[in-house]
Chains A and B, each alone.
Chain A
Amino acid sequence: NAGVMQNPRHLVRRRGQEARLRCSPMKGHSHVYWYRQLPEEGLKFMVYLQKENIIDESGMPKERFSAEFPKEGPSILRIQQVVRGDSAAYFCASSPLSQDFYTGELFFGEGSRLTVL
């Protein structure tokens, strides 16, 4: 069972360009979370999605950032018109959901490191 897959692992963009980060959850996992980690800092919650549904986006900046988790394909975190302050590691995590029991454990991908020049 492959783990959470994120790509690209490293992405360099110039100010004003768009960044697209992709995340494929573990097989059987229906929930995806995105976190941002600035250098030497903690994991900041951004958004929590199910297939075709945003559950909680309270951590997303109001502008330029969007996320989706389509019925088919990976979850995508999209950053438009990037600025230097967007440089960070973006981690995706997935978790299973059972109506009977939800463990709460998050399985993280290796992260996508965005550098904005």
Chain B
Amino acid sequence: GENVEQHPSTLSVQEGDSAVIKCTYSDSASNYFPWYKQELGKRPQLIIDIRSNVGEKKDQRIAVTLNKTAKHFSLHITETQPEDSAVYFCAAMGGGFKTIFGAGTRLFVKA
């Protein structure tokens, strides 16, 4: 069945450094790739997304890249701040409108 792999599971960076989270997906029919941020005890919230007809998208300090050939997509956070500390989930949605999530990356930004 559909599967989304996410790495690393934990990431610790110094404030101001960049953070990169990588995901791969198995369903070649996937056409929508969102990223969600979940703070402790809270609900997941969409932070950025990318569609299959685009290779890169940027929103201020956050950027996503997509390589459909390799079935690989990544999240890049630049100039990290302590408030970026959270769990980040990548996800992929296929033709059946079902969204499958990666296992999550726990990001720690040290001040």
Contact = CB atoms under 8 A, between A and B. Distances in A.
Interface size band for B: 20 to 34
B34 A106 contact: yes
Interface of A: 31, 33, 35, 41-45, 48, 55-56, 58, 91, 95, 97, 102, 104-106, 108-111
A56 B98 contact: yes
B11 interface: no
Contacts of B103: 41-42
Contact of A106 (B42, B46, B102): B46
Nearest to B103: A42
B101 A108 contact: no
A104 B43 contact: no
Contact of B42 (A42, A102, A110): A110
B44 A43 contact: yes
B43 A110 contact: yes
14 contacts: A31-B97, A33-B99, A35-B101, A41-B103, A45-B99, A56-B98, A58-B1, A104-B93, A105-B46, A105-B49, A106-B36, A106-B46, A110-B42, A111-B43
A45 B101 contact: yes
Given A35-B101, A109-B43, A104 B34 contact: yes
B93 A43 contact: no
Contacts of B102: 42
